[in-house]
Homo-oligomer: A and B are copies of this chain.
Amino acid sequence: MDKPYVVGIDIGGQTTKIGIVDARGTVLTQTTVRTDTHPDVKDFIEDMSKALNQLLIEVGGIEKIRGIGIGAPNGNYYTGTVENAVNIVWGGSKVIPLAKLVAEKMGVPVALTNDANAAAVGEMTYGAARGMKNFIMITLGTGVGSGIVINGEVVYGHDGFAGELGHTTIVRNNGRQCNCGRSGCLETYASAIGVARTAREWLESSGEPSALRDISHLITSKDVFEAASRGDRMAIRIFDFTGKKLGEAFADFVAFSAPEAIVLFGGLARSGDLLLKPVEDAMNANLLHLWKNKIKIIFSQLKESDAAILGASALAWELK
């Protein structure tokens, strides 16, 4: 193959990861640059392209590169822009034509989408969803992100922003306040922050003994996971509660697109059976009869340290 590699770039608020990937999903070489030190996007691209050019030396230069895929918060696949990305120092309240800027700088085609969609393409190309045409990727990190694949293609919708399943409403009355300005969003319950929030609420509202009471710092989802792993009953019930909310939401997602599987990714997905069991139970209890016990819930198969780069890179294989 003339151009055997693709580049994956995952842009986060603090750090941007850059890697060169082969068709089997091996990250040949990777590096990072700071995102948050460049208020001007041109400086950021300058820095990023320098870092990328360093990597390219190792693989035989830009001639070996089929294209570049970028995963970025609020990335719009249709327009190649990053829109109002408040967590990116060069992004807030602006529409940045990032794909175009990077394509001009590097001289190869560039595709861009948000991080959850990139994760879905990564999973379909290299991971747990290989061979699947219909699945939903749910990323359980600080928030809850989603990438929906139907007929083998990511759903971008009319405007490029489809797949905001973390902001479907799971609690209609007196739901938790969400950063998006609404309340009761799935992400306020089923994210890492949601788990920590449940812990803090429950500790405050009950006198139930729990190892979580001994924690002196602000409780995190990791603390809850560790306590649950050691058998702490309240911590286990927090995972039950979180899984129930997720599973109830999943039943509605299935009614929409009848996926073969729902793929879980992200920090909270590392909780394994602690989370999986209540998710499956609640989903099956809420599914229409025809889908009961037929929808798989599986974990990402991408190595977490490589996943962001792999997801972004996978987009580039689809460039013509």
Q: Which residues of B contact A169 (CB under 8 A)?
A: 248, 251-252, 286
A164 vs B291: C-alpha distance in the bound complex, in angstroms? Answer: 11
Task: Determine whether the beta carbon of A168 is less than 8 Å from that of B255.
Answer: yes
- With A252-B252, A288-B182, A290-B161 as known contacts, state yes or no: A258 contacts B172, CB within 8 Å: no
28 contacts between A and B (CB under 8 A): A134-B158, A150-B150, A157-B257, A157-B258, A157-B259, A158-B259, A158-B260, A159-B291, A160-B258, A161-B258, A161-B291, A162-B256, A162-B257, A163-B256, A163-B257, A164-B255, A164-B258, A165-B256, A167-B255, A168-B255, A168-B256, A169-B251, A169-B252, A169-B286, A171-B172, A172-B248, A182-B286, A253-B256
A11 to chain B, nearest CB (A): 19
Task: Determine whether the beta carbon of B180 is less than 8 Å from that of A258.
Answer: no
- Count identical subunits in the complex: 2
Q: Which residues of B contact A133 (CB under 8 A)?
A: 158
Q: Which residues of B contact A172 (CB under 8 A)?
A: 170-172, 248
A155-B256, A157-B257, A158-B260 known, 18 other contacts, Cβ within 8 Å = A133-B158, A134-B158, A148-B257, A150-B150, A150-B155, A150-B157, A155-B258, A157-B259, A159-B291, A160-B258, A162-B256, A163-B256, A164-B258, A164-B288, A182-B286, A182-B288, A252-B252, A253-B256
Q: Please tell me if A207 contacts chain B, counting CB pairs below 8 Å.
A: no
Cβ proximity bits A189-215 to B, threshold 8 Å, 1 near / 0 not: 000000000000000000000000000
Find A165's partner among B157, B165, B255, B294 (CB 8 Å cutoff).
B255
Q: Please tell me if A153 contacts chain B, counting CB pairs below 8 Å.
A: yes
Max chain B C-beta neighbours (<10 A), residue from A158, A170, A182, A294: A158
Q: Please tell me if A181 contacts chain B, counting CB pairs below 8 Å.
A: yes
A166 — nearest CB in chain B belongs to which residue? Answer: B255
Q: Please tell me if A289 contacts chain B, counting CB pairs below 8 Å.
A: yes
Q: Which residues of B contact A171 (CB under 8 A)?
A: 172
Q: Please tell me if A151 contacts chain B, counting CB pairs below 8 Å.
A: yes
Find A258's partner among B159, B248, B256, B288 (CB 8 Å cutoff).
B159
Q: Please tell me if A44 contacts chain B, counting CB pairs below 8 Å.
A: no
Interface positions, chain A 127-173, Cβ under 8 Å from B, are 133-134, 148, 150-151, 153, 155-165, 167-172
A232 to chain B, nearest CB (A): 27
A163 vs B156: C-alpha distance in the bound complex, in angstroms? Answer: 17
